[in-house]
Amino acid sequence: MSNIRKLRSPKGNIRVALTSGHVITITEELRDVPEVFWAGAYSQGAVSGDMVGSTLTDKAAAKKLELEAEEFLQLTKLKEVLISLFNAPQGAIDKNGLPMIRKVSALVGSTVNKPEMLTLWEELKETEG
């Protein structure tokens, strides 16, 4: 007798077809699946009934939140640096009155997106300047 495992699809139906002509459909409800279908089922995203904890979707969502938090922190740091340039330019303002990207990047401690920096600079000039 072959091994059986309870599998389900996290979302939608999964259809696994073997070259022998055998086919199985895995739905969102747990179902007994013979061992010959396991590789195909797992490769299409099926999960075992005993699988708990984080999934790839959870990991992707966590990574997205982490990146958004890093972006927010960098934007906050950029804003603080630009505000400080109003009071003490520190040689970081060019002859046109715009912040120099290399100097601002050095003050922020990481590479700064120039269009983003200039847009924020203009916004700050209206509110701070």
Cβ 83 vs Cβ 53: under 8 Å: no
The 8-class DSSP code of residue 99 comes to B
Question: Residue range 23-44: average pLDDT?
Answer: 93
C-alpha gyration radius of the chain? 27
- Per-residue confidence at 26, pLDDT binned at 50, 70, 90? very high
Which has the higher per-residue pLDDT, 61 or 17?
17
- Per-residue confidence at 27, pLDDT binned at 50, 70, 90? very high
Asked if pLDDT for residue 18 goes beyond 80, the answer is yes
Mean pLDDT of the chain, nearest integer: 86
Which H helix or E strand runs over 8? strand 4-8
pTM to 2 decimal places:
0.52
